[in-house]
Structure 1
Amino acid sequence: MDIEALKNAGLGAADLMALLDRHSVEGIDCDVDTVGHEGLGAALESFCERWQVGVKNLTKDGQGLSQRLIDTAGAHAGGAGHG
């Protein structure tokens, strides 16, 4: 097992989740005046709200995956040479 690659995958996933967390979908302006159409503005706002929930779930799951990859690398590194 390539422990360094496992650790790097975990750190890379952590970096990606931090990047996603910094770019909120909530910052998209869905105001009717901006969009120019009430129905389209409402649809865009609904889409963005659902999109934000998906991004939050992805970020949470990704952070958990990242931590497990790093923990697994650490456990194997600590156990290397034993056995």
Structure 2
Amino acid sequence: MTGTGARSARDEDRAGLWAHVGDRLIIGGATIDDAGRDGEIVGLHHADGTPPYDVRWSDTGRVSLVFPGPDARVHHFADSGAEAAAPRR
């Protein structure tokens, strides 16, 4: 499963779930009425961005070690530094 959002050319060739610190981990709910959970990825355990992740949950503020399942996805955010350096037309 691949994440969604902005990617660099180097990231295009990656398969599977991967992330950068600052990305958002979104986990689907277990039932129809369950909205699921989301949190900010605050730590990586592998240099290539593969799981597990340290996640700060938005609902509790707690950080936990997460091994994402098949209902998880990563929302990647654009690198704000690269956008600021690009000239506007």
Fold match, TM over 0.5? Answer: no
> Whose RCO is larger (CA < 8 A, sep 6+)?
1
Choose between structure 1 and 2: higher strand proportion.
Answer: 2
TM range (shorter): under 0.3
Choose between structure 1 and 2: higher helix proportion.
Answer: 1
TM-score normalised by length of structure 1 = 0.22
The structure having more radius of gyration, on CA atoms, is 1
TM-score normalised by length of structure 2 = 0.21
